[in-house]
Amino acid sequence: MGAIVFNVTTAALMIMMLNCGLGVVGQNTLRGRPIPWAAVTLTAIAVGGVLLQLVWSGAMHALDADPTRSGWWREFTSVFMQNGGVFGTLWNLVTLAIVATLAQWYWGGPLTLGFFVAGIVLPGRIDTLLGFADGPSTDPRNFAGSSGATYFLGATLALAFLTRTRLPKELALAIGVPVLGLAMWLAQDNGHGLVSVYGFALGAAVWAARTRWRGGNTNSNRLIERAR
């Protein structure tokens, strides 16, 4: 029963983030948008990782994030290995493709890639800094998979939606992402929830910095026009 609840809440959190992404991008604008090259790149690498596992039996051993094995690359290559079975692999690939696409259409390609990389390197370091972890995970389920970075990236879409709506239901949906994420972590020790909180917070910091930069440029342009 516990596993079912874990999976249902994890899926529900993703669905909330996808709805936030559709809301911030605009469902009626999807057909006319350009090809999301960053999303295509990330998805292609993830699919390539799965194919590599199929043709090379030693791929997981060489590329996962098992803390008992050395290799600086494991932190990055493990993200493109999958260990959740057929259903888990398909879920990870499909959600990565959709989330990265929506993220690129809002944040742009470079920021999308930056958020994804941040979703790889930041959570473990923040956990250690805040005392949430005693060291690298020893749970084999955490040795591989793209879901953590995907949920981190998806949470930035919830933050973006929060800044672009005033409707109570939509505000509740956006705010519900970090709230549900935190509840999942506290009640289930579900890491997907905690990384979503981190992604939401980083999205807020980037949005604030970008808004301030744009505001500064606007004010500078006004001063230049007045001087003329």
Task: Tell me the per-residue pLDDT of 166-182, one tens digit each, with 9 for 90 and over.
Answer: 999 999 999 999 999 99
* pLDDT of residue 146 exceeding 60: yes
- Please report which confidence band the pLDDT of residue 141 belongs to, taking 50, 70 and 90 as the band edges: confident
CB atoms within 10 A of CB 62: 14
What's the pLDDT at 219? 53
H or E stretch covering 207: helix 191-227
- The pLDDT, as a whole number, for residue 68 is 92
Altogether, the residues listed in the chain come to a count of 228
Residue 224, pLDDT score: 43
Give the predicted TM-score (pTM) of the model. 0.93
> What is the predicted pLDDT for the residue at 138?
66
Is residue 221 pLDDT above 70, yes or no? Answer: no
C-alpha to C-alpha distance for 100 and 113, rounded to whole angstroms: 8
